[in-house]
Structure 1
């Protein structure tokens, strides 16, 4: 990252509550000014604790957190100038929408005319211009979340933190809010650090995603790189649907490919994602949409397997086909419904395959 571009810098940050188990383990991370960074991971992975340390609600056990080059480890939350959006909205129920929005401005002792002008602009920003006199109880969940976002932005912070802000919304509202928050980010250029356990949400909204597990970042990359080029079996399995197979490296090739042997003896070709050695145990990863039902007709198909169809699920634009091979590996295949797939029946045999470039050999 270029000098001066980072707004936040975690330097060897650790956090423990009992003096033994590290919730966050030696975290070093730079967040670029103006980027949308998502902290993604399962419950207990350290992502929310990382956000809370940045917000000032938790204190690091060791290491430094820098904001614009200044250490903020001991700085009170209200003195950090950071906007915050919570899952439960955290709106004051006894205040009107306008009063909720004005609160962070009044705390900063802005003049009445400036406060009124900013409240109007903030309501227009989230497309709720006629809602100033309502109270939170008179708003839908989606409207309350828009007001929470507007309140976090109204004092024009450089940095906004969002902790699972869409978790309480239903699927349709959540997806709509994802695009609205992303649009606001692009329009305003504010830096957003966003916490979620929802992989699709992270892929939809982020410039970069940091995947957390056991207190460490397992991979930090763009959504495309994270999905297409996972570096570990955890990332491959956690981000999106995947087929994972235990295997052993047989031979290495000069084109970054390797021949591997599956349990049961079948040989396939895969991309070597690391410095691998013959005999090394690996986990193969191939996305279900990259599997082909008719590999003989597919250009570039290098690996083929056969199995019994256990289940076929129709989902409108595609089918999910579950196949079990002779060595008891269960595969998920996503097949687009652009044309009918004749002859597919539960209990029938199916030959399927994939290109070597779509299969990754990951160290275990």
Structure 2
């Protein structure tokens, strides 16, 4: 979803905090707007506040201060069962004594829908999650992936316009988890309802989301599209948490036009040309440099780059689609480089001297 397609504000957190007792502050003064129809992921490590924020929106946790609004109406004082929100948990929470169809019908029967309408909606959501023949089975007769599909169907069956998902794929194996990511993304695209999704898995967040809110210590460090988050992290924490990166400390020697800076790396004779997309950095500023491993290349004889780093190979591992190279400079700086396997037919042995290269745009200077 691009900026021009994003709808009006659907959910809003205004100055929301959550404290447990006097000492633990799980969420701190959270301000967040979630747009109608978008897929927003709350991403962060354990204890960062992302799940607490979701549970306050769902109504399973009370706010300590601040307001939560849906379509401009305060809902933080409305009971969870009256908020009209679909919810998918990691443990599926299916009733074991009921069939799949009975599990799906339950939210509708609670809302006193007629039998004919219930039957039609059960059939429709089973088709939606590609389980049309499974209505008479019990949860114990289903695989983990099938149970997860039923849990998603149950969250959607009463046609909410807001669906919350709390680590819903955490219990699945890697291959099935990746498959379900694309299936949930496809369901979202077809329905056009608002999804708020919690995960600690960066790849999952990058794959599924329109926007990602990166949480740390109860606050949002950055709220951006997946591409913006990966290409231009606003802080050192975000750069280290989203994907792999080479991170080094240094001091700005000179600041240039349009964000270009020259940085002298600590305890070395290496100077790198980098870009600063955040604060304007002047000479003497302390920064953290971040370079993605796939943005570095190994320079063949005669080739050059704006940044050239002389290093020695420590390890070279063939990983299938790429070669993962670990190299160190004479002063002890370590670099991880991902080289496309097809273009790296030469054998790289430990102890071999190499020249590594990268451009200014590949090297981010982040204000510490």
| TM interval, short-chain normalised | over 0.9
Deviation of the 1:255 alpha carbon: 3.0
Q: What aligned pairs does 1:348-363 form with structure 2 within 5 A after superposition?
A: 348-363=352-367
State the secondary structure of the residue aligned to 2:90: coil
Q: TM-score w.r.t. structure 1 length?
A: 0.97
Decide which moves more: 13-22 or 277-286.
13-22
Conserved in 2, the CA contact under 8 Å of 1:96 and 1:132?
A: yes
Cα distance in 1, alignment partners of residues 22 and 113 from structure 2: 44
TM-aligned CA deviation for residue 327 of structure 1 = 2.4
The reply on whether 1:229 has 2:232 as its aligned counterpart is: yes
- The whole-number CA distance in structure 2 between the counterparts of 1:266 and 1:341 is 29
Q: CA deviation at 1:298?
A: 5.7
Alignment check: 8 A CA contact 1:309 1:346 kept? yes
Are 2:351 and 1:347 equivalent residues in the alignment?
yes
> Which ranges in structure 2 are unaligned for 5 or more consecutive residues?
none
Is residue 150 from structure 1 mapped to residue 136 from structure 2 by the alignment?
no
The alpha-carbon distance between structure 1 residues 296 and 56, as it changes in their structure 2 partners (threshold 3 A), is farther
- Counterpart pick for 2:286 among 281, 286, 300: 281
- Deviation string, structure 1 residues 169-220 (Cα, Å, up to 9, x no partner): 0011000000000000000001000000000000000000000011111010
Which consecutive residues of structure 1, in runs of 5 or more, have no partner in the other structure? none
Q: How many residues align?
A: 363
- State whether structure 2 residue 220 is matched by structure 1 residue 196: no
Return the offset for 1:272. Answer: 1.5
Q: How do 1:1-364 and structure 2 match up within 5 A?
A: 5-263=8-266, 264-273=268-277, 274-294=279-299, 301-364=305-368
Distance 2:293 2:194 in 1: 34
TM-score (norm 2): 0.96
| Distance in 2 separating the partners of 1:156 and 1:219 | 31
Deviation sequence 1:118-144 (CA, Å, 0-9, x none): 000010000100000000000000000
- CA distance in 2 between counterparts of 1:119 and 1:21 reads 43
CA distance in 1, matches of 2:60, 2:307: 51
Most deviating of 308-317 and 103-112: 308-317
